[in-house]
Amino acid sequence: MERQDLIRDMKSYVKGSFFTRQKLANYMNIKNPQNVDKYLKGLEKVDGKYYFIPDIASKLQEAKS
């Protein structure tokens, strides 16, 4: 999946521009939210728990490579 397609899909899932760790785990169908921490490492948090979807999409694309 291309980065822009991933961003669109993620935004439609949450109906916004930010994911929490739990929402990302749910989106990826991962039961334990700690297992998505590797995708969130180094990303800037808003209000201590929200991550900007385009940043997450970039990390996911990096991990895929």
Band the pLDDT of 64: cuts 50, 70, 90: confident
Domain annotation for the chain: domains and CATH numbers: 3-64 (1.10.238)
Predicted confidence (pLDDT) at residue 65 exceeds the cutoff of 80: no
Cα-to-chain-centroid distance, residue 24 = 5
Beta bridge partners of 51: 19, 45
pTM over 0.85: yes
**What is residue 45's three-state secondary structure?**
strand
pLDDT in tens, 7-53: 999 999 999 999 999 999 999 999 999 999 999 999 999 999 999 99
* Residue 63 binned pLDDT confidence (cut-offs 50, 70, 90): confident
Buried b (16+ CB within 10 A) or exposed e, 4-32: eebbeebbeeeeeebbbbebbbbbeeeee
Q: DSSP code of 44?
A: P
